[in-house]
């Protein structure tokens, strides 16, 4: 195989940019245009942190998901345009007894299985909006939705080894072979990505802004892997992903490894650019004071899209680095999610109508007394400054705690603030943690991994 840099398949990327612009315009236009239709179908909610009762169309993530999936389907011929033209030519080549390039069936399988998972996420999200599905019932569905992705990953003999960081090698060796456990990890990734966005919610703009920043971070990361013209190349520090050495990928000799990487990151771009388009359009209408609510549909579709690219483009660990605030919020939420601490239907901050400021909301131990474990966990959280507890003066027993969400932590640490300021704090945190993610991925990784 000749060691040349693969030519950038720019026409498809240009088409993808065009489709993403279309996604932005379509969601900008359709969200308000279909608002009344949603309200008539009883898909509406009350804004909990406002004084007014005007019904706000809920579950409008369905419009985003529809635009997104339709555009992804229309994009298929573009994604394979290069192969379609050479395939067309291949009939003549075969007649003349020349070498024929195979149609990339594997890439088609990657694309189609991704669409399947996105469709399942849309269905689950919408059903959740309509029926308010119970926690334990909805958790396994994204896992099932990830099976097609895992089979495609398997068919490509995707790596299930983890390169052990230098400081741990004396204990675990250079490579840790996870085998089937790696598949368990990837299927859990799909429930994590979908649910973790959904539980960091409740203030205007929160769900969709997470999607916007994570998608932008992924796009930025993908761009690093494209074969830019020589003058524009960014030298990546040396280390290994998925058994392929990435560092110095621009130097000659790495071209074959990078050919696979380029194809994977292009696929990721094809999925992320239109997602960013629909989300930006939606964000405009969801911004404080919200005229549209995303519903669980948007959270699930966006989350599933992230899981899909993480698995199919083989960068699930980098992906998790972009989810640092969500991981923090999930770990913090665990005592409430798993029934140790009471979990009210809504954990959103409390709105003080007089000052128009948000305060941390509370979970109260009413009929149930806190168990020893719950007391211990809450005392540790309180020691770390993550919750504020109210205890009985005589017995010292905990009576209430602030709800265990990152939004309440912001309000505890920074003081009461307006709803839109809290969204801005969340956005700033997400951006900073993305910057930290890039630093860990390309700065620190060089220290803990050798080439």
47 binds, among Mg ion, ligand UD1, none (CB under 5 to 8 A by kind): ligand UD1
Alpha helices for 224-323 (secondary structure H): 255-286, 295-312, 316-321
Q: Taking the alpha carbons of 384, 326, 226, 174 in that order, is the dihedral positive or negative?
A: positive
> How would you class 378 by CB atoms within 10 Å of its CB: exposed for 0-12, middle for 13-18, buried for 19 or more?
buried
Note whether 96 and 43 are within 8 A (CB).
Answer: no
Residue from 58, 186, 190, 315 that binds ligand UD1 (CB under 6 A)?
A: 58
CB of 425 to Mg ion, least distance (A): 20
Residues 273-302 that bind Mg ion (CB under 5 A): 296
Q: Collapsing DSSP states into helix, strand and coil, what is residue 376?
A: helix
Q: Does 400 bind Mg ion (CB under 5 A)?
A: no
Task: Give the interface size with Mg ion as a residue count (CB under 5 A).
Answer: 2
Distances (CA, A) of 353 to 18, 45, 246, 301, 359: 44, 19, 54, 34, 11
- Taking the least distance from each CB to Mg ion, the nearer of 146 and 198 is 198
Residue from 148, 202, 247, 349 that binds ligand UD1 (CB under 6 A)?
A: 202
Query: Closest Cα partner for 165 from 449, 426, 424, 413?
Result: 449
Residue from 64, 159, 203, 255 that binds ligand UD1 (CB under 6 A)?
A: 203
- Taking the least distance from each CB to ligand UD1, the nearer of 30 and 290 is 290
Q: Does 296 bind ligand UD1 (CB under 6 A)?
A: yes
Q: Taking the CB of residue 302, how many other CB atoms lie within 10 A of it?
A: 33
Applying CB under 6 A, the span of 43-51, 179-187, 242-250, 266-274 interacting with ligand UD1 comes to: 43-51
Which residue's beta carbon is nearest to the bound ligand UD1?
45
Note whether 247 and 257 are within 8 A (CB).
Answer: no
Q: Does 199 bind ligand UD1 (CB under 6 A)?
A: yes
Q: Does 128 bind Mg ion (CB under 5 A)?
A: no
CA atoms of 435 and 432, how far apart (whole Å)? 5
CA atoms of 223 and 236, how far apart (whole Å)? 12
Q: Does 198 bind ligand UD1 (CB under 6 A)?
A: yes
CA atoms of 385 and 134, how far apart (whole Å)? 31
CB of 144 to ligand UD1, least distance (A): 20
Transcribe 117-146 into DSSP letters: HHHHHHHHHHHHHHH---HHHHTHHHHHHT
Q: Name the percent of the chain in helix, strand, coil, to the closest 5.
A: 60, 5, 30
CB of 45 to Mg ion, least distance (A): 10
Residues 187-216 that bind Mg ion (CB under 5 A): 198
CB of 168 to ligand UD1, least distance (A): 34
Transcribe 411-440 into DSSP letters: HHHH--B-HHHHHHHHHHHHHHHHHHHHII
Residues 379-398 that bind ligand UD1 (CB under 6 A): none
Applying CB under 6 A, the span of 39-47, 72-80, 242-250, 317-325 interacting with ligand UD1 comes to: 39-47
45 binds, among ligand UD1, Mg ion, none (CB under 5 to 8 A by kind): ligand UD1
- Taking the least distance from each CB to ligand UD1, the nearer of 46 and 369 is 46
Q: Does 423 bind ligand UD1 (CB under 6 A)?
A: no
Residue from 64, 348, 409, 417 that binds ligand UD1 (CB under 6 A)?
A: 348
Q: Does 290 bind ligand UD1 (CB under 6 A)?
A: yes
- Taking the least distance from each CB to Mg ion, the nearer of 125 and 148 is 125
Query: Closest Cα partner for 357 from 308, 411, 283, 310?
Result: 411
Give residues in contact with ligand UD1 (CB under 6 A): 45-49, 58, 198-199, 201-204, 290, 293, 296, 346-348
Give residues in contact with Mg ion (CB under 5 A): 198, 296
């Amino acid at each position: 195989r000749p060691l040349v840099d693969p030519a950038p398949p720019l026409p498809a990327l240009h088409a993808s940019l065009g489709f993403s612009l279309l996604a932005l315009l379509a969601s900008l236009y359709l969200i308000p245009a279909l608002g009344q239709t949603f309200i008539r179908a009883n898909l509406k909610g009350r804004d909990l942190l406002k004084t007014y009762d005007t019904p706000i169309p809920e579950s409008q993530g369905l419009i985003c998901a529809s635009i997104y999936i339709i555009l992804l389907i229309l994009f298929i011929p573009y994604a394979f345009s290069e192969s379609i033209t050479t395939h067309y030519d291949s009939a003549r080549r075969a007649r003349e007894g020349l070498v024929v390039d195979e149609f990339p069936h594997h890439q088609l399988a990657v694309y189609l299985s991704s669409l399947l998972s996105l469709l399942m996420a849309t269905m689950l999200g919408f059903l959740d909006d309509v029926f308010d599905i119970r926690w334990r019932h909805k958790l396994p569905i994204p896992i099932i939705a990830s099976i097609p992705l895992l089979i495609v990953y398997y068919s490509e003999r995707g790596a299930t080894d983890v390169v052990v960081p230098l400081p741990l090698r004396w204990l675990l060796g250079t490579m840790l072979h996870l085998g089937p456990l790696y598949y368990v990890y990837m299927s859990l990734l799909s429930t994590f990505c979908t649910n973790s966005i959904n539980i960091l919610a409740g203030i205007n703009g929160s769900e969709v802004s997470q999607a916007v920043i994570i998608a932008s971070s992924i796009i930025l990361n993908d761009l690093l892997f494209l074969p830019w013209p020589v003058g524009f190349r960014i030298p990546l520090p040396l280390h290994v992903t998925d058994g392929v050495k990435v560092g110095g990928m621009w130097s000659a000799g790495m071209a074959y490894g990078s050919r696979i990487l380029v194809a994977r990151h292009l696929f990721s771009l094809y999925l992320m650019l239109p997602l960013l388009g629909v989300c930006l359009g939606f964000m405009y209408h969801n911004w404080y004071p919200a005229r549209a609510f995303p519903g669980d549909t948007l959270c699930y579709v966006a989350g599933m899209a992230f899981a899909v690219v993480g698995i199919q483009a083989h960068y699930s660990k980098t992906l998790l680095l972009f989810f640092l605030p969500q991981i923090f919020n999930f770990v913090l939420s665990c005592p409430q999610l798993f029934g140790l601490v009471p979990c009210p239907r809504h954990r959103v901050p409390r709105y003080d109508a007089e000052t128009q400021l948000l305060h941390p909301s509370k979970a109260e131990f009413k009929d149930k007394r806190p168990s020893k474990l719950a007391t211990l966990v809450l005392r540790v959280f309180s020691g770390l400054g993550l919750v504020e507890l109210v205890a009985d003066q005589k017995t010292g027993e905990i009576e209430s705690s602030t709800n265990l969400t990152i939004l309440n932590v912001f309000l505890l640490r920074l003081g009461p603030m307006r709803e839109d300021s809290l969204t801005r704090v969340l956005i700033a945190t997400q951006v900073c943690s993305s910057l930290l993610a890039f630093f860990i991925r390309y700065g620190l990784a060089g220290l803990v991994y050798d080439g």
